[in-house]
Chains A and B, each alone.
Chain A
Amino acid sequence: MIRPLLVALLAALLGATSAWATTTPQVGVGVFGGLSVPVLQNVDVSSFSPSDAFGPTGSQFGIRVPVKVIPVVTLEPFFAKSNYKDQEETFGGLTYKRQGYDGTAFGLNAILGRVGGSGVNFYPYVGLGTFKLSRDTDEINKMGWNFGLGLGFSPAPRWSIQFRPEFNMVVTGDTSRKFGNATIGVNYEIMPEGGSHEAK
């Protein structure tokens, strides 16, 4: 299942690189943090309500390094840590807790557009990475995908604020573990647009 998606991502990147230009690289570094919510995991279907589709809200933080060396696409290696709360359920009148996962992820986002720069910009992106979800009783260590739409705006030269709602899917055979993420971060352009190392 991963292979067709890899091919699609590669095709997208190749399409973007077909008009490879002598663009001066733009390099940034950003930190982010926010919320991460399990989606459609451990759902009680006997008394389902829409809110049951979402597990206990967790947190996520990490680092991203957006690098724009070609027109159209920015490549962005990322590393993220997440932590999910325990889930409480009642069976037979007794309340039980199920330990939440701790997550570690690293991978690469392909962003349509740019992350930094002046003004306000929107950018869709897709990412591929390796995701590890672990708790005392079990561990999932699989490839996964990110899909999101970022919003960035620059309050000062070289600096930008990034807001990203994101859908994350860790592929586990024929099914997947899904998470909805909403993060806010700060990005600093080490090498800004135009190749100048000075503030714009």
Chain B
Amino acid sequence: MKRNRWLLLSLAVGLVVAGCVLTSGQIRISFDLDDFSTTTDTGLAAQTIDLNTESEYKDNKDKLKDLSDLAVLGEITNNLGSPINVEIWMTPTITNYTTAAEVTNSGSGAVRVWGPFNLAGNATKKIGWDDSAKLFSAAGKKLLLDEAKGDGQFQLYAIAPAGAYDFGVAKGVLVLVLDVGI
């Protein structure tokens, strides 16, 4: 009987040591993006993201450990007859680039976080969650995590870098699933 007590005590100690792993979870935070349309002529579609505007993020920021899942969702419409490849680029600070060339310039500090999302001419497509998750680059995920752990403010640009483009995004949402300690 005494032996059984030691056995249970040893296991209890193990559980207590593992407490921080035990008291954790994955929480989902979503940010609605403004509807926009952009063309080669009118310039860039940009959106400033401030994660601090979401109380769920602010409440859990200090417990944030990792980024376990993420997606850009919404409906994209290609208004031209030729296919396009939509990409989302990100700068870790608030910037105001006005052309796609400025964003993709190696000195811009911007990183392609998502894409390319291929869309046929004159087509509208809902971006699936699984499809979207696949399109995040490793560098983009790291930058997003750094920003989520940092000041929470960054800039997103939507572009279709090759050739002329004219597309719009409706009901856009940025979804982040964060690993947090509880």
Q: Which residues of A contact B (CB under 8 A)?
A: 1, 4-5, 7-9, 11-12, 15-16, 18-19, 39-46, 72-73, 89, 91-94, 96-99, 112, 124, 126, 135-138, 145, 147, 169, 171-178
Contact = CB atoms under 8 A, between A and B. Distances in A.
15 contacts: A1-B18, A4-B18, A15-B10, A40-B26, A42-B28, A42-B69, A91-B171, A97-B129, A98-B71, A124-B8, A126-B14, A137-B130, A174-B21, A174-B24, A177-B26
Nearest to B35: A92
A175 B25 contact: yes
A175 B28 contact: no
Contacts of B55: 46
B22 interface: yes
A112 B6 CA distance: 12
A25 B24 CA distance: 40
Contact of B11 (A1, A8, A138, A174): A8
A173 B66 contact: yes
A5 B3 contact: no
B91 to A, nearest CB: 25
B25 A40 contact: yes
Interface in B8-44: 8, 10-11, 13-15, 17-18, 20-22, 24-30, 32
Interface residues of B, number: 51
Contacts of B66: 172-175
A72 B4 contact: yes
B149 interface: no
Interface of A is mostly: mixed
A169 B20 CA distance: 12
Contacts of B59: 45
Contacts of B18: 1, 4-5, 145, 169, 171
B7 to A, nearest CB: 5
Contacts, number: 146
A44 B32 CA distance: 14
B179 A172 contact: yes
B21 A45 contact: no
Contacts of B28: 42-45, 89
Nearest to B31: A91
Interface of B: 3-4, 6-8, 10-11, 13-15, 17-18, 20-22, 24-30, 32, 54-56, 59-60, 65-66, 68-69, 71, 73-75, 126, 128-130, 133-134, 171-173, 175, 177, 179-182
A102 to B, nearest CB: 14
Nearest to B177: A42
A72 B3 contact: yes
A103 to B, nearest CB: 16
B133 to A, nearest CB: 4
Contact of A92 (B4, B11, B74): B74
A94 B75 contact: yes
Nearest to B6: A15
B135 to A, nearest CB: 9
B73 A96 contact: yes
B179 A175 contact: yes
Contact of B7 (A12, A39, A96, A145): A12
A151 to B, nearest CB: 18
A173 B172 CA distance: 31
A94 B35 CA distance: 14
B51 to A, nearest CB: 13
Given A97-B128, A169-B18, 17 more contacts: A1-B17, A1-B20, A8-B13, A9-B10, A9-B11, A15-B6, A15-B10, A39-B25, A45-B56, A45-B60, A46-B29, A72-B7, A89-B129, A93-B171, A137-B134, A172-B68, A175-B26
